[in-house]
Amino acid sequence: MERDDGIHCLTDEPVRHSGAAFEELITRFAAEAFTEVATHFEHGTYKLIETLLQHPKMGRMRTDLVPDGIRSFRVPGFDRYLLFY
């Protein structure tokens, strides 16, 4: 599978995704939970991305993943969701 922007996990299996899949995840949150939860997740994820752009070494180095240099950070308020970069 081609490497995209990151990984999200709706089940216990991680799934690589693109920006379009992120929008689909937000839509799914809104349908299965509440629009308010989806909005909180979306804003939290974008805020995390902005923070990581300023501090790229902030996340946990993932030596268990390839290619070398991948890091991860939990999406604030959504402990089961990791942003890989």
Element (H, E) at 83: strand 78-84
What's the pLDDT band for 21 if we cut at 50, 70, 90?
Answer: confident
3-state secondary structure of 17: strand
What's the pLDDT band for 18 if we cut at 50, 70, 90?
Answer: low
For 3, counting Cβ atoms within 10 Å of its Cβ (0-12 exposed, 13-18 middle, 19+ buried), the class is exposed
The pLDDT assigned to 73 comes to 95
Q: Is residue 1 part of a domain?
A: no
Domain count for the chain, please give it.
1
Q: Is residue 69 part of a domain?
A: yes
Which amino acid is it at 80? R
Boundaries of domain holding 50: 6-84
pTM across the whole model: 0.69
pLDDT at 4 over 50: no
Q: Cα–Cα distances in Å, from 8 out to 43, 54, 65?
A: 15, 22, 15
The pLDDT assigned to 53 comes to 94
